[in-house]
């Protein structure tokens, strides 16, 4: 004959099984009622508290979810999952300083739990500690290479740090794991556009004429006949065209610098803000993308104009020398 303790334990096990079945069918409130019945029979069973914590989390009652996960850690202090889930709930409750040691304890108990590192990355990100968040997300992705969210969040941080190559790499990895993921696809497109704009800016800087004069090496002088005279009647039209082409080149160069400062850089920052904060509306993101595309196109137009005018300066200069 079973003792009262054994009967209660058997009843609790049956109730937990029924509650789990209700949860599997999406019946959260009935599952909560069943777990409460089990709790009335035995208040010292970790699985009952774990089940209740899960139900309250699904019902968005975070304080009660935190309470029951904490009870699990008290009754079963070696259960890593309880610590990790408690840390995740603390994060949702904006209790970031409480979440970190709890998550670290869960990781210490089971260092192969990718979700522990992932949740730690979420907390560090919210505390504006991107380098620590990167370490946590990278560890989560190492343990579970199929964790698309870890790659996506890594990409977002690298985007914010304007490390476009790394951002593109992790957006692509997230899309390989979760094809047609709209947010990751938008992020990849924006990172690629920003990377292209940076390359264009670098190319424009490299195209600027530079002068390097040292004490030991005097500047070289052009090989022009010192007795050669410029005849205004003969060279006037050519000189006028050369002067205009030079002014045009200077104007286009100034325009490029202005677009970089007043259009392209602000557009990149706005895109970054829209991407990193998912509460942004779709219309706001579309406006940011349109503004960025316009700035890039304006930059390209001026770069092409600068290239054309500089080529004209070269041709006219050669014609002047040959006359």
Residue with more model confidence, 239 or 254: 254
Residue with more model confidence, 184 or 203: 184
pLDDT, average across residues 245-255: 78
pLDDT, average across residues 110-126: 96
pLDDT at 44 > cutoff 90: yes
92-106, 164-178, 188-202, 307-321: least confidently modelled range: 307-321
Residue with more model confidence, 37 or 303: 37
Mean pLDDT for the chain?
A: 82
Structure-token match 């009262």, residue found: 4
Nearest to 137 by CA among 287, 122, 126, 96: 122
pLDDT bucket at 250, cuts 50 / 70 / 90: confident
The pair phi, psi for residue 36, each rounded to 5°, is -65, -35
Residue with more model confidence, 19 or 254: 19
Residue 153 has what pLDDT? 96
pLDDT, average across residues 184-211: 80
| Highest-confidence segment of 13-22, 275-284, 300-309 | 13-22
Residue 321 has what pLDDT? 59
pLDDT at 34 > cutoff 80: yes
Query: How is residue 76 written in tokens?
Result: 């079963």
Q: Percent of the chain scored above 90 by pLDDT?
A: 55
pLDDT at 209 > cutoff 70: no
pTM for this structure? 0.62
Question: What are the CA-CA distances from residue 182 to residues 27, 140, 174, 186, 193 (Å)?
Answer: 30, 22, 11, 6, 17
Residue 279 has what pLDDT? 54
Q: Tens digit of pLDDT for each residue in 262-278?
A: 776 777 767 666 665 55
pLDDT, average across residues 210-224: 47
Residue with more model confidence, 23 or 301: 23
Q: Percent of the chain scored above 70 by pLDDT?
A: 77
Annotated domain spans of the chain:
4-185, 231-322
Residue 210 has what pLDDT? 55
Q: Tens digit of pLDDT for each residue in 218-249?
A: 444 344 444 444 455 445 566 667 677 778 77
Residue 277 has what pLDDT? 53
Looking at CATH, the fold of the domain delimited by 4-185 is given as: 1.25.40
Q: Tens digit of pLDDT for each residue in 143-169?
A: 999 999 999 999 999 999 999 999 999
């Amino acid at each position: 004959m079973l003792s009262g303790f054994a009967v209660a334990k058997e009843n609790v096990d049956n109730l937990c099984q029924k509650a789990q079945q209700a949860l599997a069918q999406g019946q959260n409130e009935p599952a909560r009622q069943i777990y409460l019945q089990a709790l009335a029979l035995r208040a010292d069973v970790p699985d009952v508290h774990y089940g209740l914590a899960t139900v309250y989390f699904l019902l968005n009652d975070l304080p009660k979810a935190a309470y029951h996960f904490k009870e699990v850690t008290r009754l079963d202090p070696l259960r890593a999952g309880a610590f990790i889930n408690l840390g995740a709930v603390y994060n949702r409750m904006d209790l970031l300083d409480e979440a970190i040691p709890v998550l670290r304890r869960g990781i210490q108990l089971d260092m192969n739990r990718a979700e522990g590192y992932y949740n730690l990355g979420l907390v560090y990100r919210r505390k504006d500690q991107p380098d620590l968040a990167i370490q946590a997300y990278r560890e989560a992705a190492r343990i579970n290479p199929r964790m698309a969210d870890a790659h996506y969040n890594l990409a977002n941080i690298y985007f914010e740090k304007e490390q476009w190559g790394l951002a593109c790499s992790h957006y692509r990895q997230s899309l390989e794991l979760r094809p047609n993921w709209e947010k990751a696809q938008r992020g990849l497109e924006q990172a690629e556009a920003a990377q292209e704009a940076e390359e264009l800016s670098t190319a424009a800087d490299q195209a600027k004429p530079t002068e390097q004069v040292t004490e030991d090496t005097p500047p070289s002088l052009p090989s022009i006949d010192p007795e050669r005279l410029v005849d205004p009647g003969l060279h006037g039209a050519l000189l006028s065209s050369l002067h205009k082409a030079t002014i045009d080149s200077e104007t286009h160069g100034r325009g490029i610098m202005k677009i970089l400062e007043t259009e392209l850089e602000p557009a990149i920052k706005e895109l970054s803000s829209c991407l990193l904060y998912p509460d942004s509306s779709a219309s706001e993101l579309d406006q940011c993308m349109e503004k960025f595309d316009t700035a890039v196109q304006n930059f390209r137009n001026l770069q092409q104009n600068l290239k054309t005018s500089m080529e004209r300066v070269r041709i006219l200069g050669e014609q002047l020398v040959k006359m």
